[in-house]
Amino acid sequence: MILRLRSDADPHERQKLVTVLRDYGLEVTVLAHGGVPVIGINGHGLPDAFADDLARLPIVEAVVSIGKPYRLAARAVRPEGTVVQVDSVRIGEREPVVIAGPCTVESREQLIRTAEAVREAGATLLRGGAYKPRTSPYSFQGLGERGLELLAEARERTGLPIVTEVLDTEHVELVAQYADMLQIGSRNMMNFALLRKVAATGKPVLLKRGFAATVEEWLLAAEYLLAGGNDQVVLCERGVRGFDPATRFMLDLNAVPLVRQLSHLPVIVDPSHGTGLRELVPGMSLAAIAAGAHGLIVEVHVEPEAALVDGRQSIDPATLADIVRRVRAVRDVIEEPVMA
């Protein structure tokens, strides 16, 4: 059962209600950062009269019923949408947010140069992997904690908040000390222990879609984060495995307007992994915004040909500047996506 509270609900009254519900032995989740406060009650077979009583409480705006396996992630919980705030950057509003940076932190020089260049190009968040999920155990695995230190230095120099992947549960605390937003990679979307631990940090999360995950599985992964009391969740479509090796993955732009209908969470698109080919990145960036994405995450390198990881899909800063300019132009001409 989900209670949508009034937007002006007194936090003390809310806490009193939560305490009473917990005293009843109910499992209760409170979401209060990204929009209208919401209380989730995890209990099956609660009597209808109980819902009626709760609906009459002055701080409760509505008892929301959801006929979906995911509940807290469902659009009906916050029809007006959730806004995720990473430092001063707000994701989920009209202005598209561009996250950019190298696939992998390789060296101080590479990262600082790239960070300064993406800021110049108009990006407002810096990406970069310190712990990398590599298909082969023999490939470069990232710089680890040294990479995190370099990201912190790049943030210091550019003012850009940082987004970086956390690969496993044992690193969650360490990565959370450095990162402004924690990325859960495609290969980890169903790592439920990781989802729970990341939720508990309270940090904003970028949840990539598993490349073989259905939209429903993806929203259920988001549900783990929400059920852990963290509503600072941004969904990221990054392509699914298709049948055609002509591109690295098949960027599922259907998913963008679809999840905007199904969920209140912001959604962004990764055209770099979604295509695997830098020539396709500008076009798919614009298509993503036209489809209703709240932003992009793009791999950028000062010397794409020399990138240690994912060079073929990395663009240079000049191309990013062009994308940022054109993305704003697209955004200006499109209406909000049509909601069913």
Half-sphere exposure of 321 (CA within 13 A, CB side): 11
Least spacing, CB of residue 273 vs ligand PEP, in Å = 5
Per-position x/- string for 202-241, each x denoting binding to ligand PEP as judged by CB under 6 A, each - no binding: ------x-----------------------------x---
133 binds ligand PEP, rule: CB under 6 A: yes
130 binds Mn ion, rule: CB under 5 A: no
Binding at 186: pick from Mn ion, ligand PEP, none (beta carbon under 5-8 Å per type): ligand PEP
Question: What is the number of the residue whose Cβ is closest to ligand PEP?
Answer: 185
The whole-angstrom separation of Cα 143 and Cα 134 is: 13
Bridge partners (DSSP) of residue 92 are none
185 binds ligand PEP, rule: CB under 6 A: yes
Binding at 238: pick from ligand PEP, Mn ion, none (beta carbon under 5-8 Å per type): ligand PEP
Q: Give the range of 50-58, 100-108, 146-154, 213-221 binding Mn ion by CB under 5 A.
A: 100-108
How many chain residues are in contact with ligand PEP, going by CB under 6 A? 10
Q: Which residues contact 58 (CB under 8 A, 6 or more apart)?
A: 6, 13
Q: Which residues contact 329 (CB under 8 A, 6 or more apart)?
A: none
The whole-angstrom separation of Cα 164 and Cα 145 is: 12
Concatenated DSSP letters for 74-113? BGGG-TT---EEETTEEESSSSPEEEEE-SB---HHHHHH
Q: Which is nearer to ligand PEP, 239 or 317 (CB)?
A: 239
Q: Give the range of 34-42, 64-72, 180-188, 193-201 binding ligand PEP by CB under 6 A.
A: 180-188
Instruction: Please name the helix (run of DSSP H) or strand (run of DSSP E) that holds residue 114, with its range, or none.
Output: helix 108-121
- Structure tokens given for 35: 């929009």
Amino acid present at 299: E
310 binds Mn ion, rule: CB under 5 A: yes
In the region spanning residues 6 to 45, those forming contacts with ligand PEP, defined by CB under 6 A, are none
Q: Which is nearer to ligand PEP, 82 or 183 (CB)?
A: 183
Q: Which residues bind Mn ion (CB under 5 A)?
A: 103, 310
